[in-house]
Structure 1
Amino acid sequence: MNHIASLRKGAGIKQTDLRQVLGWTQARLSNYESGHRTPGLSECRAITAALNRLGAKCTLDDVFPPDVDLQQAA
């Protein structure tokens, strides 16, 4: 689960603006936001950087929260 859409909307950022900063298609960003596709680490970092560039003020863990079950298993 990610918080791309909620952070984007909370910061008043349009999906169009975020995808333009990323240089991606609307479909690609939409698939990541909806959870239909899982971004790799480099995409996660790019999304976080783009959100910050557009004024969201967030960290990688804010956008992509760590899996609690995985942390407890370690």
Structure 2
Amino acid sequence: MNRISEIRRAAGISQLALVDQLRWSQGRLSNYEAGRRVPGLAECRAIVRGLNELGACCTLDDVFPPEPAQIPAAA
């Protein structure tokens, strides 16, 4: 799960502005936002950097929250 769209919208950043900043296609960002594709670490960092350059104030963990720790089943 990611919060790309949520953070982008809260900062008043259009999807088009972010894809222009990243120099990506709109489809690529749309797929990441919708969870149809999972970005790699380099892409995650680029998205956070792009959001911050456009006025959002966020970290990698804000945009891509860590998964809750898996609790092992009792033996």
What is the TM-score with the length of structure 2 in the denominator? 0.92
Instruction: Report how far residue 54 of structure 1 moved.
Output: 0.3
Secondary structure at 1:51 match in 2: helix
Amino acid at match of 2:25: T
Partner of 1:23: 23
Aligned-residue CA RMSD (Å): 1.1
Larger radius of gyration: 2
Greater percentage in helix: 1
Match of 2:13 in 1: 13
Aligned pairs, number: 72
The equivalent of 2:62 in structure 1 is 62
State, as a whole percentage, how many aligned pairs show the same letter. Answer: 58
**Counterparts of 2:59 and 2:3 in 1: how far apart (Å)?**
11
- Distance in 1 (alpha carbons) for counterparts of 2:47 and 2:54: 11
Partner amino acid, structure 1, of 2:46: A
User: Which runs of 5 or more residues in structure 1 are unaligned?
Assistant: none
* Displaced runs of 4 or more, over 2 A: none
Structure 2 Cα separation of the partners of residues 69 and 26 of structure 1 = 33
The runs of 5 or more residues in structure 2 that have no matched partner are none
1:47 equivalent to 2:37? Answer no
